[in-house]
Chain A
Amino acid sequence: MGSIVSLIAVIVLILIAYTGVKAANLHFLFGVVIPYAAVTVFLTGFIYRILKWASVPVPFRIPTTCGQQKSLPWIKQNKIENPSSPFWVVVRMALEVLVFRSLFRNLKTQLTDGSRLVYGEAKWLWLAGLAFHWSLLIVLIRHSRFIFDPVPSFLHILEQFDGFLQIGVPVLFVTGVVLLVSVTYLLIRRFFIPIVRYISLPADYFPLFLIIAIAITGIEMRYFTKTHIVGVKELVMGLLTFNPKTPEGIGWIFYVHIFLVSALFIYFPFSKLMHMGGVFMSPTRNMVNNSRVKRHVNPWNYPVDVHTYEDYENDFREKMKSAGIPVEKE
């Protein structure tokens, strides 16, 4: 149900861009106005959300410790899983962000099982998640060839690696394929793994469909219609230099592509996609486990009513005396 709504939403977006460009000739709207608006919404929204999170205090030091603490010098501490200094927190976070260490934990127990491979899904989630995020990043970096003139050398190197298979003309980029395959897997698991299907909302399907559509239109332009690259670069450079123009000869599919990307950018700050920023702000992961070493201050700490020792002794003085327990006032 949620998936159908999301799929329809993405199809509607495609149709809007298609009719807008093809029938109504709104090249400027779709090529210039909407991309500008999308980037503006994305940047302000993203920054707003981060600032909003950052403005909320972290009253307590609550890391989830996943290994041995630092205590006696002869007991080996697990510095990564139970960091006692900021440096190791950085390492912990880096492993979390770069290789999804916590998701990997599922896999670890998997491997120690030894016998047959019984629960493959946890592994695939980790692998697909990792493949998806990394290929998305590389694809994004590759796109920066549209905004640099001349194209910097690191991009050439990256492209060479990415195209190592040397298939086809233009050469096939592996990341494009990996992106499409992994994102499709992430979608399919939401259909076929019952407990994941049970927890999935339209908000989980929509970005997946959107990214699939973006990837397909992108691949289509590179390998099949072979879009008018010079024109596209001209358009993008125009946007960047605030001298927007919509060169002739760019096919409608490009406008669909850039419209979907704009939709993703606009959707981003309002959605769970903000986990991109949020992962860095999670107190259970980004804190040092040194609460007994260094006092953590709660900015909103306020005094509370307590039942003092004096109150207590007043309640029980006679009983305490008869039990031989020392008292303050005889």
Chain B
Amino acid sequence: MAKFTAKPNELSKIDYTPPKTHWLETPVEIREHMFCHAAKPKDLETVGFPYGREWRPNDEDWKLPENWKTIIFEGMRSLLKKYRSFQVFMDICVRCGACADKCHFFLGSGDPKNMPVLRAELLRSVYRGNFTLAGKILKKLAGARKLTANVLKEWWYYFYQCTECRRCSVFCPYGIDQAEITMMGRELTNMLGLQIGWIAGPVANCYMKGNHLGLEPHTITSSMEFFLDDIETITGIKIEPTFNRKGAEILFVTPSGDLFANPGTYTAMGYLMLFHELGLDYTWSTYASEGGNFGFFTTNDMAKRLNSKIYAEAKRLGVKWILGGECGHMWRVVHQYMDTWNGPADFLEEPVSPITGTRFDNARATKMVHIAEFTADLIKNSKLKFDLSRNDHLNVTFHDSCNTSRGMGLLEEPRYVLKSVCNNFYEMPEDTIREKTFCCGSGAGLNASENMELRMRGGFPRANAAKYVHEKYGVNMCAAVCAIDRVALSTSFEYWVPGVAVCGLHELVGNALVMTGEKERTQDLRLEPLPGKEVAE
């Protein structure tokens, strides 16, 4: 599309309505600001992904390998034999339309191919044409079509317009999960080197250096100094965390974004303060310095390769169990995949809170506990002292992250913690929280900058609900237990609802936590004055 084209028609006669054709016959239009740039060849080569090359999504020629169709068909055949979910979801959709209006991208764009059912049909149509008897005989009548370069482009375009949030799956009478289909679609595109840079870069970094940003060990420790200094400024307490320490009781793993990205760093400050106050015997790791897993947005094997570091490091350091920070897709992976991929974790012990003695039975095989579970237990057992007034300048709401709500069920723990550390808590409307939560619009590796328009569209349903509580209750802070949320919602709200900031759960914990030996606090973790403590001009 040309940037701006004036149409010299009489105003009232201009009709923007796109031509009406059946979706099977409507070729994809790859539009600027909706897609992410292609992966750099070197990032793909680093992890051994095939067909790294220079190409651009809006080029006519994607420089596909000669035998690309064979690769796709072989790939589909293999995936159909490996995943019952894929095989069943290809077969049983009745196109009832219950999922159609549940996708944040559809709601924000009105593009019919963003309806989960249709996004799945893009792949199903090729499946029917090549893997089912009815499709082979009845062709188009059975909704089958041939695989062409245009179809492949359409797959790519729309599978990188799905954030794998699973909201559609909640409403589907058969539980058909578009996330599962997108994952298969991305496996297929990855076989042809059609990966996006925003995912491939972090994957290569994480593989070689242990985290998405590609930070080397000494950079991790020295960067943390900055917020250790900030903590000292705020509380007068100097915290000295340890790294790669053998013999610690607990290994702590969190998304690396929390160490460098605002507002995630404030959450990391909260972790540090909490652990210090508890006197927890724990260590950070520079090797397993990434809780997140962008490999999960490429292929199953890649996700497993990145994830392997967590157990390997826990074993090497000889810890008893693992504590996980606030992250969305990290927890989908930890909860539903990690043990299966890289377990059994028989070298670890069943997690027991050293402070309360609570045994985390719900994590007895995987041996990894979510920090919201850990902190909720501390609060329930009255092990922490809070000064809630330090959060009184905030009217807080809570955004359920897609993965922790629909791929785990972590709903009440963070709410319990929030209500224990702040006085002003307001829920967003019921249709937009808990299992029905709306995605931030930037998950599954789509939080790049070149697709900002797509992200803003996809973020609108969530922001719209935040706007509602902003206007109704004066909500000015949205807590989220996900590192991508913290970055992406900040951006989305800056556009849609200026006046609502985003924080992690443990930032608010850190604010309210009364620490032994602390000085009288005048600032919150963002170094902003606390209510009533503003310096008189």
Contacts and interface: CB of A to CB of B under 8 A. Distances in A.
B340 A297 contact: yes
Contact of B406 (A1, A66, A76, A122): A66
A316 interface: yes
A1 B170 contact: no
Contacts of B522: none
Contacts of A241: none
A320 B217 contact: yes
A40 interface: no
Contacts of B115: 195, 199
Interface string B85-127: 1011101111111101100000000001001011001000000
B387 interface: no
Interface in B322-348: 334-337, 339-341, 343-344
Contacts of B171: 102-103, 105-106
A67 B405 CA distance: 8
A227 interface: no
Contact of B175 (A57, A64, A196, A293): A64
B380 interface: yes
A234 interface: no
Contacts of A100: 173
Contacts of A61: 336, 340
Nearest to B341: A301
Contacts of B339: 291-292, 295-296
Contact of A62 (B85, B92, B217): B85
B142 interface: yes
Interface residues of B, number: 106
Interface in A316-330: 316, 319-320, 322-326
Interface of A: 1-2, 5, 49, 52-53, 56-62, 64-72, 74-76, 78, 81-82, 84, 96, 100, 102-103, 105-106, 109, 112, 122, 125, 129, 193, 195-196, 198-204, 270-272, 274-275, 278-279, 281-285, 289, 291-298, 300-301, 304-309, 312-313, 315-316, 319-320, 322-326
A316 B218 CA distance: 9
Contacts of B363: 292-293
Interface of B: 22-23, 48, 80-85, 87-89, 91-98, 100-101, 112, 115, 117-118, 121, 132-134, 138, 141-143, 166, 169-177, 180, 207-210, 216-218, 221-222, 243-246, 286-287, 300-301, 304-305, 308-309, 312-313, 316, 334-337, 339-341, 343-344, 358, 360-366, 368, 373, 376-377, 380, 405-413, 416, 430-431, 434-436
B126 to A, nearest CB: 14
B12 to A, nearest CB: 25
Closest 9 CB pairs of A and B: A69-B409, A278-B92, A323-B218, A284-B175, A285-B175, A65-B409, A201-B143, A292-B366, A275-B92
Contacts of B337: 60
21 contacts: A57-B84, A58-B84, A61-B336, A62-B85, A62-B407, A72-B376, A75-B412, A109-B436, A129-B173, A270-B132, A272-B92, A272-B95, A284-B180, A291-B336, A293-B364, A305-B305, A306-B305, A306-B312, A323-B221, A323-B222, A324-B221
Contact of A291 (B87, B335, B416): B335
Nearest to B286: A325
A195 B84 contact: no
B221 A59 contact: no
B336 A322 contact: no
A266 B497 CA distance: 56
A153 B140 CA distance: 49
B32 to A, nearest CB: 25
Contact of B336 (A60, A193, A274, A315): A60
A326 B336 contact: no
A109 B430 contact: yes
A198 B210 CA distance: 46
A72 B95 contact: no
Contacts of B118: 198-199
A163 to B, nearest CB: 30
Looking at chain B's contact residues, the main secondary structure is helix
Contact of B365 (A282, A293, A319): A293
Looking at chain A's contact residues, the main secondary structure is loop
Contacts of B222: 323
A117 B244 CA distance: 59
A69 B410 contact: yes
A275 B91 CA distance: 8
A200 B95 contact: yes
Contacts of A105: 170-171, 436
A316 B340 contact: no
B404 to A, nearest CB: 9
Nearest to A45: B133
B322 to A, nearest CB: 11
Contacts of B175: 64, 96, 102, 282-285
Q: Which of A71, A198, A270 has the most CB of B within 10 A?
A: A71
Nearest to A196: B97
Given A58-B85, A293-B365, A195 B101 contact: yes
A298 B410 CA distance: 25
A53 B87 contact: yes
Given A285-B174, A300-B82, A326-B246, A278 B91 contact: yes
Contact of A304 (B83, B169, B301, B408): B301
Nearest to A291: B336
B365 A295 contact: yes
Given A64-B175, A291-B365, 6 more contacts: A57-B82, A67-B435, A69-B409, A102-B171, A272-B95, A295-B365
Given A81-B435, A199-B117, A270-B132, A103 B362 contact: no
B430 A1 contact: no
B173 A65 contact: no
Contact of B218 (A49, A304, A322): A322
A56 B376 contact: no
Nearest to B167: A64
B408 A69 contact: yes
A201 B380 contact: no
A325 B221 contact: yes
B134 A271 contact: yes
Nearest to B89: A282
A121 to B, nearest CB: 9
A323 B289 CA distance: 16
A199 B95 contact: yes
A49 B376 CA distance: 47
Contact of A65 (B91, B407, B430): B407
B365 A292 contact: yes
A192 to B, nearest CB: 12
Nearest to A109: B431
Q: Which of B23, B84, B170, B222 has the most CB of A within 10 A?
A: B84
A274 B435 contact: no
A313 B218 CA distance: 12
A305 B304 CA distance: 9
B344 A295 contact: yes
B100 A199 contact: yes
A129 B96 contact: yes
B217 A274 contact: no
A103 B98 contact: yes
B85 A284 contact: yes
Contacts of B170: 64, 66, 102, 105
Contacts of A315: 208-209
B100 A196 contact: yes
B87 to A, nearest CB: 5
Contacts of B340: 59-61, 291, 295-298, 301
Contacts of A325: 217-218, 221, 243-244, 286
A298 B83 CA distance: 10
